[in-house]
């Protein structure tokens, strides 16, 4: 007997994902994550003058961090509104950045076009994970570097996504969760033959209270914004209670304000020589 592997309809999945990330106002959330992009640029030992590609850049955290280090940066995302917010930020700082709409699974660049590719909590959401990983490796020169920040399945955001998923319609058959990119074993499978350095880190969410966090994420973060908008009132209330309970379990603020560590993996990949 043989088991047939289910292959999702990736195009349909991407269309639904596009609607999710285009909803709300992710830039409000993204801007709070800026320190992750800064630390990732240090982790890859970014050099001035390097050709840098930010993949699934959102509103440009890694983009701005690289541009501040005098790299030649191309910022890409498949949601034009997010690119526009990144451009606003770059313009405000008078940083020279090229912005281009692009799908992480089909990057419109030649092989070896960049010295460094970066992605902070972005490419991990591409539905065809193998193809997205191959595209990252393809566009980077041999011996170049790929820097990633990926939420882990066990950390706060991984648990949040799992919780939200219980209220959402069933995923496409065969679709793998994005938090697989937060597993060292999976990363080594996605980037065979390349050298990987993987470090667990935490980003700390700092908000006035659990209710404040929920208000911001319900309004601005695509995955939570979209599901709250789709649910009937009683289900919305149940989801809100479950999220507040999750926040309180992770809170280290001692009651004065909300302090929630969110575990992620900081990944530096050196691509294999030609």
How do residues 26-61 score in pLDDT, each as one tens digit? 999 999 999 999 999 999 999 999 999 999 999 999
Q: What proportion of the chain, given as a percentage, has pLDDT over 70? A: 98
Lowest-pLDDT range, 4-18, 31-45, 71-85, 219-233?
A: 4-18
pTM of the complete model beyond 0.85: yes
Q: Which residue has the higher pLDDT, 23 or 42?
A: 42
Residue range 128-148: average pLDDT? Answer: 98
CA distance 153 to 228: 22
Residue 213 is classified by DSSP as: H
pLDDT at 200 over 80: yes
pLDDT at 172 over 90: no
Pick the CATH number of 10-204+262-270 from 3.30.70.250, 3.40.50.150, 3.40.50.620, 3.30.750.210: 3.40.50.150
- Domain locations in the chain? 10-204+262-270
CA angle 167, 185, 189 (to 5 degrees): 100
pLDDT at 12 over 90: no
pLDDT at 147 over 60: yes
pLDDT at 171 over 90: no
Extract the runs of DSSP E, i.e. beta strands, from 31-90. Answer: 51-54, 72-77
Q: pLDDT class for 14, splitting at 50, 70, 90?
A: confident
Beta-carbon contacts of 267 under 8 Å, excluding residues fewer than 6 positions away, are 146, 147, 148, 149, 150, 187, 196, 197, 198, 199
pLDDT for the residue numbered 9:
86
pLDDT for the residue numbered 7:
80
Q: Burial code of 192-231, b = ≥16 C-beta within 10 A, e = fewer? A: eebeeebeebebebebebbeebbebbbebbbbbbbbbeeb
Residue range 101-122: average pLDDT? Answer: 98
Q: pLDDT class for 5, splitting at 50, 70, 90?
A: low
pLDDT tens for 76-107 read: 999 999 999 999 999 999 999 999 999 999 99
Residue range 247-254: average pLDDT? Answer: 96
pLDDT at 116 over 90: yes
Residue range 140-165: average pLDDT? Answer: 97
pLDDT at 6 over 80: no
């Amino acid at each position: 007997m043989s088991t047939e592997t289910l292959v999702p309809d990736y195009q349909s999945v991407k269309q639904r994902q596009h609607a999710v990330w285009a909803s709300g106002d992710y830039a409000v959330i993204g801007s709070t994550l800026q320190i992750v992009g800064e630390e990732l640029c240090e982790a890859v030992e970014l050099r001035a003058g390097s050709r840098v590609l930010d993949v699934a850049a959102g509103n440009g955290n890694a983009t701005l961090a690289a541009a501040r280090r005098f790299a030649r940066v191309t910022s890409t995302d498949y949601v034009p509104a997010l690119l526009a917010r990144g451009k606003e930020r770059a313009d405000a700082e008078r940083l020279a950045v090229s912005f281009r709409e692009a799908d992480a699974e089909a990057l419109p660049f030649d092989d070896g076009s960049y010295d460094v590719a970066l992605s902070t909590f972005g490419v991990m959401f591409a539905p065809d994970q193998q193809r997205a990983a191959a595209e990252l490796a393809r566009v980077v020169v041999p011996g170049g570097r790929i820097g990633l920040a990926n939420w882990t399945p066990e950390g706060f955001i991984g648990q949040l996504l799992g919780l939200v998923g219980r209220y959402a319609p069933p995923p496409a058959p065969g679709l793998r969760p994005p938090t697989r990119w937060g597993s060292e074993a999976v990363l080594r499978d996605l980037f065979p033959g390349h050298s990987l350095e993987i470090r667990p880190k935490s980003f700390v969410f700092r908000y006035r209270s659990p209710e404040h966090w929920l208000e911001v994420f319900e309004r601005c973060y695509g995955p939570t914004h979209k599901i709250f908008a789709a649910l009937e009132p009683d289900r919305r209330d149940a989801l809100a209670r479950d999220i507040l309970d999750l926040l309180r379990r992770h809170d280290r603020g001692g009651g004065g304000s909300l302090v929630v560590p969110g575990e992620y993996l900081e990944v530096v990949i050196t691509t294999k020589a030609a």
